[in-house]
Structures are given as C-alpha cells and as structure tokens.
Amino acid sequence: MNIQKVTDKPGENAFFLVYTLLDTGTTVEKVKELCGNFAAFGRSMRGRYPEANVNCVMGFGADAWGRLFPDKPRPKELYPFREIRGDKHTAVSTPGDLFFHIRSKSAGVCFEIAENIDNALQGVVVSEDEVHGFRYFDGRSIIGFVDGTENPEGDESCKAAVIGDDDPMYKGGSYAFVQKYIHDMKAWNKLSVEEQEKVIGRRKFNDIELGDDEKPENAHNAVTNIADADGNELKIIRANMPFAYPSKGEYGTYFIGYAGAFSTTRRMLENMFVGDPIGNTDRLLDFSKAVTGTLFFVPTFDMLDELAED
C-alpha cells in the first residue's frame, strides 16, 4: 500500500496550498490528470535533490470529492467542516476543494513543486489560501514553545494518522484538517514566562510538561488530551508550522492535523472552543484566532492513480 507520507516530520520549509474548483468543461479532466502525475512531482525532485527531504501530500474536500468522483462514495468521515461556536471562541469553516502540503529542507524545492501544481491547474481553480511555513529554532512555534511534542512515533504514528479496517475502501488514507491561526503577539509577550507556561501546560525552555498540581485545567495540552471509552489516549499527527509577515505585524501558526478518524480531531477542537465541561476553553485561544478551517481526505498514491483512470 503506497501511503502518502502524512506521518513525516514537519520539515524545514512547508508550503500549504488550498484551492476551490471552477465550473469549467476541463476541470475534472485537469484534476484527474494531476492525480496521475502527482507522485511523479515528488519522485522527480527526490531524484534531483536527494538531500532535500521532499514530501508532497494531496487531499480533497467533501464537495470536490462528490463532483470529481461521483461514482465513489465519500470516505466515512469526509464532510464539509461544520464550524464549532463556543461562548467566547469560534472554529470557523472556510472553503476548500483541493489541498497540497509540500515539505522540504529547501524553500526553492517547495516553490518549484507548488509552481508545477499551479501550472497543472491553470484555468480550473481559484486560490483560497497559501501559506509558507518555516522551521523556527528547535521546532518552536512563533510563541516560543516546542510544537508537536505529543506526536506519537513509530507504529503508533500510523495508527493515529492512517485509516484502518473500519473503512476498508479507503484504508491507508488519512483525514487532514487545517486551520490558520493568527497570534496576538503584543498581548502574548506581556505575559511572564511562568504565565505563558500555564497557558501551554509545558516549560518554555526545556519542554517538560507541567505537573498536575501546576497545570491549569484550561491549559492547551490539558484540553486537547482526550481518551476513548476504555481510557486509551487518542492521538493525531500534527505537522504545524510557524509563518510570519513582520512588516504587516502578522504572526501565526498553520495547524494541520492528520488523523485516521476526523472524529478524534473534532473532539479535540470541541474541547478547545466549547470546553468539557462547557466553558473550560483553551486558554491559548485568548491569544490565537482561527481564521480558516477546512477538512480534506488524503488518498493513497495507489488510489490517486485509480482516480486518474476512473
């Protein structure tokens, strides 16, 4: 099973592209042609730049899936993301039919792949969002804390991020949920280091988790810690990247969560934005605003080939 590499590390550079489809006579044809060529984009770059650690992921939104592949049922948990509105904060829902996540040590390699994708889709798509992420120091977010600390590793990463036997038709695929967060850095920087640590639930400099006697119930890593009915912790793979436009005063985090079941990600989001119990919302949201929110299904490379030929 040729799985798209959703469990890879975030990388040094990442381009995130979200498109919506136009209603043209060649839209379906061009997208299917890209499906058939997509794996080759990455292979070509890996052959030319083996040291660049190239990784490309392609995903589809719910509306696009029904339009492009009407004879194939939707993956079990693929649907247009429904906004989550709490008393204080909202996880917004924004449009998106196609999603591309490009990672490499080289920003130039990311650029060339993005350009190839855009050329292949010329005339049949409109760009909804594009973000260029970068590695900040030792894997820290713009707010100064190490990101992705809770990601499972080894076999556990595949269990968390890849669809299993519960949806056999789409086994090996994944659900990608993306959100662009803008941070209020002025308000954040007014907090002392100790106050910031209580917002996140970890030490800022050594990344050690706060003890239960120190960690508030609304700390970020407390509200996103969930378990199933048997008490087993549920995980996703985060490939978050910081981005910034200093001259505009815009600083943010591009959140991307890969999961074998989107219901896991959604439950984390509900805990953050609504609270469990209600009102115990993620303290980090007082400094970070979600301005996008879209769900995609990521097929295997083998399925992309099948979709191209369908």
Q: Rounded to an integer, what is the distance from CA 283 to the centroid of its chain?
A: 21
What's the average model confidence in pLDDT over 184-194? 97
Which pLDDT score, from 0 to 100, does residue 248 have? 94
Which sign does the torsion angle of CA 67, 240, 281, 128 carry? negative
The pLDDT mean for the chain works out to: 95
CA dist 24 and 16 (Å) reads 24
pLDDT digits (tens, 9 = 90+) for 210-233: 998 999 999 999 999 999 988 889
Identify whether 4 is part of a domain. no
Q: What is the largest CA-CA distance in the chain?
A: 62
User: Does residue 5 lie in a domain region?
Assistant: no
Q: Is residue 252 helix, strand or coil?
A: strand
Average pLDDT over residues 163-180: 96
Q: Both tokens of residue 256?
A: 């991307």
Name residue, tokens 């890849």. Answer: 162
pLDDT at 305: 94
Over residues 272-297, the mean pLDDT reads 97
pLDDT of 1 above 80: no
Residues forming a β-bridge with 180: 254
User: Does residue 243 form part of some domain?
Assistant: yes
Task: Please indicate, yes or no, if residue 241 is contained in any of the structural domains.
Answer: yes
Q: Is residue 165 assigned to a domain?
A: yes
Q: How far apart are CA 68 and CA 172, in angstroms?
A: 20
8 A C-beta contact, residue 158 and residue 33: no
- Report the share of the chain in percent with pLDDT over 90: 93
Q: What is the pLDDT of residue 68?
A: 95
**Residue 86 domain flag:** yes
Q: Burial code of 208-228, b = ≥16 C-beta within 10 A, e = fewer? A: ebbeeeebeebbbbbbbeeee
For residue 187, give the nearest of 178, 200, 196 by alpha carbon.
Answer: 196
Total count of domains within the chain: 1
Which regions of the chain does DSSP assign to beta strands (E)?
Answer: 13-21, 55-60, 84-85, 90-91, 98-104, 125-134, 174-183, 226-227, 233-234, 237-238, 241-245, 250-259, 288-290, 294-298
pLDDT of 278 reads: 96
How confident is the model at residue 309, as a pLDDT?
87
pLDDT digits (tens, 9 = 90+) for 31-65: 999 999 999 999 999 999 999 999 999 999 999 99
1 in a structural domain: no
The candidate with the shortest Cα–Cα distance to 129, out of 96, 101, 83, is: 96
What value does the mean pLDDT take over residues 100-117? 97
310 pLDDT above the threshold of 80: no
Can you tell me the mean pLDDT for 177-198? 98
The pTM assigned to this predicted structure is 0.96
Nearest-angstrom CA–CA distance, 90 and 281: 11
Q: What average pLDDT score do residues 232-254 get? A: 96
Confidence of residue 148 (pLDDT cuts 50, 70, 90): confident
Q: In this structure, is residue 222 part of a structural domain?
A: yes
pLDDT computed for residue 113 by the predictor: 96
Among 100, 97, 132, 130, CA closest to 117 = 100
Residue-range definition of the domain harbouring residue 85: 13-309
User: Catalytic site residues?
Assistant: 147
**Chain centroid offset of residue 304 CA:** 20
